[in-house]
Amino acid sequence: MCENCTKNEETIIELQELVKKQTSELNAIKIIKNKTDIEFETLKGEKEILEENNKKSVEKISKLEESIKNNIIIEDTEKNTDTVDENDIVIGGL
């Protein structure tokens, strides 16, 4: 065999090995990408659930605040009755 032919065969073998290595690396990257995509979708779903839970919590807090506000108003209304006790100052009363 000629010297160039031997070099060409060696180069072909080196290139084939390089292609195998790069193909393995590419497959590993694809696997990692697929796992990352799955994790992203999972996190995206969890984010949506957390956002919905947060929205519900904010609504509950608003309702509780309104309830507390209404209770305070009711208590204030109850304190302002027409009955007179010994601590009240009555002007023009009998």
List of residues 6+ apart from 93 with CB closer than 8 A: 84
In this predicted structure, what is the pLDDT of residue 93? Answer: 47
Given a cut of 50, is residue 94 above it in pLDDT? Answer: no
Given a cut of 70, is residue 80 above it in pLDDT? Answer: no
Angle at 88 between CA 86 and CA 91, to 5 degrees: 115
pTM exceeds cut of 0.75: no
The pLDDT tens digits of the residues spanning 26-40 come to 999 999 999 999 999
The pLDDT tens digits of the residues spanning 36-68 come to 999 999 999 999 999 999 999 999 999 998 888
In this predicted structure, what is the pLDDT of residue 91? Answer: 57
3-state DSSP assignment of residue 56: helix
Contact yes or no for 70/62 (Cβ under 8 A): no
Residue 68 corresponds to which tokens in the numbers above? 């507390």
The overall average pLDDT reported for the chain is 83
In this predicted structure, what is the pLDDT of residue 92? Answer: 54
Rounded to the nearest 10 degrees, how much is the dihedral formed by the CA atoms of 12, 16, 21, 23?
140
